[in-house]
Amino acid sequence: QQKVQQSPESLIVPEGGMASLNCTSSDRNVDYFWWYRQHSGKSPKMLMSIFSNGEKEEGRFTVHLNKASLHTSLHIRDSQPSDSALYLCAARRNGNYQLIWGSGTKLIIKP
Amino acid sequence: EAAVTQSPRNKVAVTGGKVTLSCNQTNNHNNMYWYRQDTGHGLRLIHYSYGAGSTEKGDIPDGYKASRPSQENFSLILELATPSQTSVYFCASGGTGGDTGQLYFGEGSKLTVL
């Protein structure tokens, strides 16, 4: 069982629409969260991080975090075809500071 | 931009053969990591290192060894490769403290074990 669960597994959104991706850690010994984006055939690249409760916005991307439920969500507004990618969520373990990764959400933006 | 370089990018090996995947970073990061990525599993940590001379076991270390001879270089060694080790392997480097989750990845090494 994946300790960091992402949903949905895949998502199709029309160009210009809003994409919403979810991530929850069942491992309670985590503190911070990161979102990475991986285009097909490429390596993951960090998109956003969130460390405290609330919301963080960077351009078209907004991340929310609820530390009590260890749930984070990523929202992409005005989605572009270039946003089509695998989105990976990672939570940092307390103690050894290693990341636990979800298996990702495959986002497809349809022109 | 932080730079992590992996070699080889593609490798075909035979069962029972030895495979070495190499990674070089020019970021002067203390931490380096080896992950494998398979469909449905996301990224799984094999070995990591806090600095030259140190290696630590990750979540799936069986069948793999690691070596960190210098700050810049981190190798992953498969002494006796098996078909189950067919995968894409990513090396990454990262800082310490609050930045430990910001990793810089190499472009990946696709390994096929026949």
For the segment B79-99, what is each residue's pLDDT rounded down to a tens digit? 999 999 999 999 999 987 666
> Would you say residue B66 has pLDDT above 90?
yes
CB contact under 8 A, B40 and A99: no
- Residue B6, classed as helix, strand or coil, is strand
For B113, the token pair is 């074990």
Q: Quick one: closest CA in A to B56, which residue?
A: A96
The residue of B103, B104, B107, B110 whose CB has the most chain A CBs within 10 angstroms, and thus the best one to mutate to test that interface, is B103
Mark which residues 48-107 of B lie under 8 Å from A by CB. 48, 58, 90, 98, 100-103, 105-107
Write down the pLDDT at residue B1: 62
Task: Classify residue B67 as exposed, middle or buried by CB count within 10 Å of its CB (0-12, 13-18, 19+).
Answer: middle
Candidate from B40, B102, B108 with C-beta closest to A43: B108
**Rounded Cα gap, residues B24 and A36, in angstroms:** 22
| Chain A: closest CA distance from residue B61 (Å) | 14
Write down the pLDDT at residue B109: 98
Q: Which residues of A touch B102 (CB under 8 A)?
A: 34, 46, 49
> Would you say residue B2 has pLDDT above 70?
no
Write down the pLDDT at residue B40: 73
| Chain A: closest CA distance from residue B86 (Å) | 16
- The residues with which A79 forms a beta bridge, in sequence order, are none
Q: Which residues of chain A have pLDDT under 70?
A: 1-2
A63-89 pLDDT, tens per residue? 999 999 999 999 999 999 999 999 999
Write down the pLDDT at residue A85: 97
Least confident of B28-32, B60-64, B74-78: B28-32
